[in-house]
Amino acid sequence: MSIRLGLIGGSLLQALAARGHRVVGFDADPATRATARTAAARAAADARWQVAGTVQDAIRRAELVVLAVPLPALPGIFDELADYAGLVTDVTSVKGPVRDLAERQLRLGSFIGGHPMAGKEISGFRAADPKLFDGCAWVLCLDPRATSLPDWLTLATLITSLGARVVPVTADEHDGAVAKISHVPHLLAAALALAVVGDPLAATLAAGSFRDGSRVAATRPELIAAMCAGNRSAVRRVLHDVIGQLDLFEEQLAADDPTAALRPALSLASSTRSAWPPVPGEPTELPIRADVLLRLGRVGGWITAVDKERRKVVAMRPETVRNDS
């Protein structure tokens, strides 16, 4: 079942229902529950979901609880789940602090942190789309000492069945990576937007590079603040490195030949960006072992299917990385 029927929770509810799973959703907002009930009544008979009136009603017979709430709401929900004995996962963009919360607050359940790299400019149940996860990368945290591998495989099986690519990483590896590719980019976009405050000429001249470079600055500020603060040690480390690179650019601009001084780093940046997104190589089979799975995640690989009986997963790696290694 899904707690909170926003974009991610609502999409997940519909995607699982469409695949024949019995699903129950809950949202703290009565209007959202009413919208979801109306949509459920209109859905095809084989894709129906239920909407519960309380968290306790929603989790009563659930084998899996998906917490699709933003980070600041997690402590309250974990409290309600203290005595729930099943499998629990979440979808927030920070995994170390959430793991720590779950360890402290969940007495009986098994927790595996998750993070689908899916989003839209719009949010809410009305934006929900059962195809949202098709092809998206979905991090599932794996701690070789603490995670139950059977539980991890249950979740990985479910998520790959939605068409998502499951990326096995530790919580700390996840947090370092998303600081680079999501949290710090939001701060760079905000700094760029702030550069045109009080400068209407700049705003009038701004075109493509400003538009794209500042786009995510328009995100609700409380969401950016919460995700950066929730991952602050990794965000500070990455931000520090990015500032260091910008300091280098500033020095290079002051060199005798600034064009020549700037070239090497700009060339590396250009070839790196041109090689993105990574192209997957051929699928391979891997044995189901935590160390093997984590090594796959570390080289940018992912899982597209789980074969529990043969104890194998189908794995993909970026082609460039496979050729280099």
Residues 122-141 close enough to bind its own copies by CB under 8 A: 136-137, 139
The three-state DSSP-derived secondary structure of the chain is: CEECCCHHHHHHHHHHHHCCCCCEEECCCHHHHHHHHHHHHHCCHHHCCEECCCHHHHHCCCCEEEECCCHHHHHHHHHHCCCCCCEEEECCCCCHHHHHHHHHHCCCCEEECEEECCCCCCCCHHHCCCCCCCCCEEEEECCCCCCCHHHHHHHHHHHHCCCCEEEEECHHHHHHHHHHHHHHHHHHHHHHHHHCCCCHHHHHHCCHHHHHHHHHHHCCHHHHHHHHHHCHHHHHHHHHHHHHHHHHHHHHHCCCCHHHHHHHHHHHHHHHHHCCCCCECCCEEEECCHHHHHHHHHCCCEEEEEECCCCEEEEECEHHHHHHC
Which residues 294-313 are close enough to bind its own copies by CB under 8 A?
Answer: 297-302
Per CB under 8 A, does 19 bind its own copies?
Answer: no
> Which CB atom, from 40 or from 189, has the smaller least distance to its own copies?
189
> Which CB atom, from 127 or from 137, has the smaller least distance to its own copies?
137
> Which CB atom, from 20 or from 209, has the smaller least distance to its own copies?
209
Which residues 253-272 are close enough to bind its own copies by CB under 8 A?
Answer: 253-254, 258-260, 262-263, 265-270, 272
Which residues 139-198 are close enough to bind its own copies by CB under 8 A?
Answer: 139, 167, 169, 173-174, 176-178, 180-182, 184-197
Which residues 56-75 are close enough to bind its own copies by CB under 8 A?
Answer: 72
> Which CB atom, from 148 or from 259, has the smaller least distance to its own copies?
259
Q: What is the closest distance, in whole angstroms, from the C-beta atom of residue 101 to its own copies in the complex?
A: 16
Per CB under 8 A, the list member of 88, 235, 288, 315 interacting with its own copies is 235
> Which CB atom, from 72 or from 86, has the smaller least distance to its own copies?
72
Q: What is the closest distance, in whole angstroms, from the C-beta atom of residue 265 to its own copies in the complex?
A: 7
Q: 30-49 mask for its own copies (x: CB under 8 A)?
A: --------------------
Per CB under 8 A, the list member of 61, 131, 240, 308 interacting with its own copies is 240
